[in-house]
Amino acid sequence: MPEGPSVRKFHHLVSPFVGQQVVKTGGSSQKLNPASFQSLWLQDTQVHGKKLFLRFDPDEELGSLGNISLPESVEEGERKEEAQDQKQASGPSSQKISQQSSQSLELVAPSGESGVEHLRGDMPAGGAERWLQVSFGLFGSIWVNEFSRAKKANKRGDWRDPTPRLVLYFGGGGFLAFYNCQMSWSSSPVVRPTSDILSEKFDRGQALEALGQEQPVCYTLLDQRYFSGLGNIIKNEALYRAGIHPLSLGSLLSPQRLEALVDHVVQFSADWLQGKFQGRQQHTHIYQKEQCPEGHQLRREAFGPPGGFQRLTWWCPQCQPRLPPDEQAQVRLS
């Protein structure tokens, strides 16, 4: 699942297309008609946590007016994002993209219809919702000036390339291909820097207060209200580096240990992002591993709040011991 650092990289790749007009479209999306983007101008991009926001306007000059949009309350159900992602667990589509035939990409060349008409027909009432919200779920990605290729054969032995849900060709000559993304229109981007783990405005105090709740810290870390952009990889790696058992109750951990956990969250995320820009793979200690760096056998189990989404969790019983509640309480008082 793309986490904060990956989405920041997607934002970096999309940004050079700002100020360009969509001249041709394609893709298999049923929810959003690819043709509705025809002739629109990409005017702005913003990123928050695991979500990317793209602003489109029917006129090149509208972007200079600023972000004129309807107010939008904080998205209800942001905590349900993981459950929505699970629906994509079947993986990328197996339909093949043909480089030799534009029909396989459902290309839509300019017709007599204007971009404004497409906008009105496929966007919410009033046409005020000019921000495209992109969520990446479990397998989402954005490719620039190239298409994704099959990495292995399917169960039937066929090598079929994934089909993009949306392809946008721009006047500058490049194109963007969106794979396995959940996309919808909104009136304004939902951006709260204080909860974004990669933002300079990340509120550590708010994060520490949330971690101090009487619930397992591995639940709280995935709560996007306080740790936007934090996913399963960061969760597992930060807990291991902090030496904290995933099911430790935050209310029974010392302030020093909670501070250390937040430090590892921020540092690991920043290192991962830097590595993406430098073209190097992020090194993990325990995620999807059999042993920890100390040579201890790891354990793996799905953890999550009652009735909520369960996420696979790796931990080392030796390096991350689960202390009895009375011992944890003594640590807190020391």
The per-residue pLDDT for range 280-300, each reduced to its tens digit, is 888 999 999 999 999 999 999
Catalytic machinery residues: 2-3, 50, 311
Is 204-328 in CATH node 1.20.120.420?
no
Residue 179 CA to residue 93 CA, distance in Å, equals 9
Determine the pLDDT at residue 128.
60
**Residues paired with residue 263 on neighbouring β-strands, in sequence order:** none
What is the reported pTM? 0.74
In whole angstroms, what is the distance from residue 129 CA to residue 188 CA?
7
CB 181 within 8 A of CB 143: no
pLDDT score of 88:
32
| pLDDT reported for residue 281 | 85
pLDDT at 68 over 60: no
Q: Which residue has the higher pLDDT, 104 or 258?
A: 258
The residue extents of the domains of the chain are 4-59+128-186, 204-328
| 169: nearest Cα among 161, 157, 177 | 177
pLDDT in tens, 184-225: 998 888 788 999 999 999 999 999 999 999 999 999 999 999
- What does the DSSP assignment read for 126-171? GG---EEEEE-TTT-EEEESS----SS--TTS---PPPPSEEEEET
Q: Mind listing the pLDDT tens digit for each residue in 129-180?
A: 699 999 998 889 999 999 988 777 777 777 788 899 999 999 999 999 999 9
Sign, Cα dihedral of 253, 257, 263, 269: negative
DSSP sequence for 73-132: PPPTTGGGHHHHHHTTTT-S--PPPPSS-GGGGT-B---SS-HHHHHHHHS-GGG---EE
Q: What 3-state DSSP class applies to 48?
A: strand
* pLDDT tens string 214-256: 999 999 999 999 999 999 999 999 999 999 999 999 999 999 9
Is the CATH code 3.20.190.10 the one for domain 4-59+128-186? yes
